[in-house]
Chain A
Amino acid sequence: MLTLDNIWAAYGPVQVLSGVSLDVPAGKVITLLGGNGSGKSTTLKTIVGAVKASAGSIRFEDREICDMEPREIVPMGISLVPQGRRIFAPLTVMENLRLGAFARRRQEKSKDDFESIYERFPEIRQWLNRKGNTLSVGQQQLVAFGRGLISRPKLLLLDEPSSGLAPILVERLGEIIKKLKEAGMTILLVEQNVHLALSVADFGYILRDGKISMAGPTASLIGDGDLIRHYLGG
């Protein structure tokens, strides 16, 4: 569904990605692991077009999207739940959700979309009129999921959804991801929580110094636990 081929990206003089290639097949959960500052978030930002790749190609459903703007890419069916959730604090939960569907505003089927979110996360219905900054971290994570899913994306990009969550909530997160997968969602999951990532993903990539240093089915990666720790440590 999504293929990155030799992607290079930099912030000014700071080279961050130096030839990242990875493949996300439809219906699978793929995880991208890596230490702090290894370029995981940057990879996701490049996919949605928020950061421009200086070289390489990104194909989504057989279309080259490398040179497109987010406002063109997002409506094609890619949704990013950003690191740290980044709920709009001064906006209500309802408004946050509406924004999730912003890119699709021309094909307004919003009623159904909202209902499907309430079905998946029933608690959200009670917070609709609360401001973003009154939510707890766990609540924010659910809203962020809702905001990411309301546009009914084909590909969901999750950037460290477990960070800052209490252990019980991490468990719930794992279940949410598994359920999404059962429903046929394609997911690219960036994580630092190796345990969680390997328990839900089919295939994993490990990013180090802007390059993929290791890749394989999660089953094989689990066996290589030491190796993974070694790579993440760097």
Chain B
Amino acid sequence: MGIDLHIVTQQVVGGLAVGCVYALIALGFTMMLRATELVNFAQGELVMSGAFIGYTLLVATPLPYLAVFIIASILTGILGMLIERVALRPIRLRQSPLLNLIIATVGIGICLRLISQLIWGAAPLRYPVSVGQVGHLVVAGLPMSVQHIWIIALAILSMLGLHYFFQRTLLGIAWRASAYDSYTAEIMGVSFDRVVTMTFGISSMLAGAAGVLIAPLFFVAQELWLQGPRAFAGAALGQFHILGTMIGGPILGLLETFAAGYISSAYKNGIAFGITIIVLMLVAIPRMPRGGSLVFRYRRQTIADLFELNEKQAVHLRYGMIAALGVMALLLPSLLDTYELYLVTLILIYATGALGLQLVIGYAGAIIVGHAAFLGIGAYTSAILTVYFGVPFLLAIIAAAIVAGVFGLLFGPILRLPTHFCAIATLGFGEIMHLTFINWKEVTNGMSGISGIRKPSIGSFVFEEGAPFYFLTIAVLVIVFVALQRLIGSRYGRGLIAARENELAAVAMGVNVAWYRTLSFCIGAGCAGTAGSLYAHFFSYISPDSFTILQSIAFLTMIVLGGLGSFAGAVIGAFFVLGVPEMLRWLAEYRILIFGLLLVAFMMFLPGGLADLVHRLLSAFRRKEETSEVSVISSEHNETLAANPVKTNVDS
């Protein structure tokens, strides 16, 4: 008979329920974008926090669900304001670029996830649902879940409350005024700093409310945080208008439900990201190049500058250092035990991938939160070619680089998006690729992964585990490193840097900025693909779990802690991110928490990363004035975040 009306009703009501929750979360994104141009990557973790807080209240107190809903929302709101005041305001007031703030919110997200794990454990918890909420309601002969109706009703009430706040209260009007023109609002006495805190408060409150609403539908677990980035699609669908988002959320919910029901449920979690990418590409690409730097203006001195060496001495120094590093690399296998060498090899593989990310973030000034996807693409390409088709390793690793690079080229236009949109779109790309690894079973073998990948060999020589593989890895790393360093010194590299420092000026100089950035994404992806091939052969086994958002964040951490805009920094960062936790094994889970804290702390106190620290120490050693500071600039960003937002991309 085709369509069953009962099922359709349930789907519609269910989709609307989830969609209303999306709307609440997405409203947080929209408010934040309108008031500050920031995408808060911790929004999803705030949803999770709200759910956990609600859980505790329900279990530990006799409060009814409605009271818990309100209290948990308020507590989450307070949490959001605290986060803003303690961590983000100092970064913002230093007039750091948007990139630093985004990275800090990523760090805060990690912290929240880990803290919740320490408090509530990693195992999913079942939400205690009060009796009134189970069962079905029959309307016009069609059954609907009471729980869904509750969710829809409470979400709509919350939105009405928000609407009232914006339209009727002086504070709400002041918020709208500030979002439109923060300078003029400021001279009316509306403090921008307070508006930002308020924005964090309200959007976190909405996230908390969403958490309490959605938790009964799922288990409560750390995974709930992904609802945040997914809900972003609702904001995108609503064109980042408050009212639009209220409609965009439910549309997203319905689209997801029906696509899952009638097309394929395997990719359900990817639909939202697909929508985000498509909508952003259609509406958010700025028509005008912007002036002002995207990342930092690096005034990092080379060691030769620092010690005032002449050219000849500088060359000597360089060869000296290369020789020293070379000797060290050669001796390492005999100095380390098997496990240590294994670890160092793994770090070098990651470092190869991190170099590619450094090119895209540190030099092209885009922000990528899905780099592990390219590692995965390279790994699968190499594994499939060698295992199923018997292709020799040398060809497979080149193919891995090329295939990953082609993906980079295809998705390169994402880099034309403004920083914060680029971040969310690439996060979405990463998630979609992860889902593809899981679900494209014919090719990737699904969750069981691909095993039996043989150690690489060239001719009859096999790079066995231990020293041989280590030397292979280091050779690849050096090739990639030198190639990238040369690239940056070339005309292309100078154009890329010029575009990062001032896009407008670069365009005037005749640099094809869009193409340069796309190319950087392609090359960066190629590096990750190369690393992925090594990764596959190193472990002999790969599965989708190795290429998730967690690995992507690890990559991001590497280059941020190492120092943006420094290839050596990327390698140092890889050693730091993967090496330090090994030394801190006794810290168990706290290790990851430390990473989150480090990300935030670096953005607060040392935005130039470890590379900058080295230079500071060296210049202190030279007893010279602090000359190597990374000055953070760009009057444009000052204006967008401090005084006078010129919003080209959100306002239509």
**A→B interface (CB under 8 Å):** 11-12, 45, 48, 50, 69-71, 74-75, 80, 82, 86, 88-91, 95, 98-100, 102-103, 105, 147
Contacts and interface: CB of A to CB of B under 8 A. Distances in A.
Nearest to A51: B643
B183 interface: yes
B641 to A, nearest CB: 14
B245 to A, nearest CB: 16
Contacts of B170: 98-99, 102, 105
B174 A80 contact: no
B188 A74 contact: yes
B187 A74 contact: yes
Interface in B181-204: 181, 183-191, 194
B177 interface: yes
A50 B176 CA distance: 19
Given A12-B635, A105-B170, A99 B190 contact: yes
A91 B189 contact: no
Contacts of A12: 633, 635, 638
Contacts of A80: 187
Given A11-B635, A91-B173, A98-B173, A71 B189 contact: yes
Given A12-B635, A88-B180, A70 B174 contact: no
Given A91-B173, A95-B173, A103 B180 contact: no
B174 A99 contact: yes
A59 to B, nearest CB: 19
Contacts of B187: 45, 48, 50, 70, 74, 80, 82
B176 A91 contact: yes
Contacts of B184: 82, 86, 88
6 contacts: A50-B187, A70-B187, A71-B189, A80-B187, A102-B190, A103-B189
**Which 6 pairs, one residue from A and one from B, show the smallest C-beta to C-beta distance?**
A103-B189, A74-B189, A86-B184, A71-B191, A71-B189, A88-B177
A75 B188 CA distance: 9
Given A90-B176, A95-B173, A105-B170, A69 B185 contact: no
A183 B473 CA distance: 83
A135 to B, nearest CB: 15
A105 B635 CA distance: 33
Contacts of B643: 50
Residue in A75, A88, A98 with the greatest tally of chain B CB atoms within 10 Å: A88
A166 to B, nearest CB: 24
Residue in B176, B184, B185, B633 with the greatest tally of chain A CB atoms within 10 Å: B184
Given A69-B191, A70-B191, A88-B177, A99 B185 contact: yes
Contacts of A75: 189
Interface string B229-269: 00000000000000000000000000000000000000000
B174 A50 contact: no
B181 A102 contact: no
Nearest to B167: A95
Nearest to B191: A71
Contact of B189 (A70, A82, A88, A98): A70
Chain B contact residues, majority secondary structure: helix
Contact of B188 (A11, A69, A100): A100
Contact of B180 (A71, A82, A90, A102): A90
Contacts of A99: 170, 173-174, 177, 185, 188, 190
Given A69-B191, A71-B189, A99-B174, 18 more contacts: A11-B635, A70-B188, A70-B189, A74-B189, A80-B187, A82-B184, A86-B183, A88-B176, A90-B176, A90-B180, A95-B173, A95-B176, A95-B177, A98-B173, A99-B177, A99-B188, A102-B170, A102-B188
Interface of B: 170, 173-174, 176-177, 180-181, 183-191, 194, 633, 635, 638, 643
Contacts of A82: 183-184, 187
A50 B173 contact: no
A50 to B, nearest CB: 5
A95 B188 CA distance: 13
Given A71-B191, A88-B180, A88-B181, A102 B186 contact: no
A11 B186 CA distance: 17
A48 B190 CA distance: 12
A45 B173 CA distance: 23
A16 B189 CA distance: 24
Contacts of B181: 86, 88
A80 B189 CA distance: 10
Contacts of A70: 186-189, 191
B229 to A, nearest CB: 28
Nearest to B651: A90
A111 to B, nearest CB: 14
Contacts of B194: 71
Nearest to A74: B189
A167 to B, nearest CB: 27
Contact of A102 (B176, B189, B635, B638): B189
A95 B184 CA distance: 14
Contacts of B180: 88-91
A101 to B, nearest CB: 8
Nearest to B643: A50
Contacts of B185: 88, 99
Contacts of B176: 88, 90-91, 95
A204 to B, nearest CB: 24
Contacts of A102: 170, 174, 188-190
A12 B634 CA distance: 10
Contacts of A103: 188-189
Residue in B176, B184, B188, B194 with the greatest tally of chain A CB atoms within 10 Å: B188
Contacts of A71: 189-191, 194
A95 B181 CA distance: 14
Contacts of A105: 170
A155 B198 CA distance: 30
A89 B651 CA distance: 12
A112 B341 CA distance: 80
Nearest to A103: B189
A48 to B, nearest CB: 5
A80 B183 CA distance: 12
B172 to A, nearest CB: 10
Contacts of A74: 187-189
A95 B174 CA distance: 9
Contacts of A90: 176, 180
A91 B186 CA distance: 16
A90 B174 CA distance: 12
A91 B190 contact: no
A91 B188 contact: no
A12 B643 CA distance: 13
B186 A50 contact: yes
Nearest to A88: B177
B8 to A, nearest CB: 39
Nearest to B635: A12
A157 to B, nearest CB: 9
Contacts of B186: 50, 70
Contacts of B635: 11-12
B645 to A, nearest CB: 13
Contacts of B183: 50, 82, 86
B163 to A, nearest CB: 14
B89 to A, nearest CB: 14
A12 B637 CA distance: 13
Contacts of A86: 181, 183-184
Contacts of A98: 170, 173
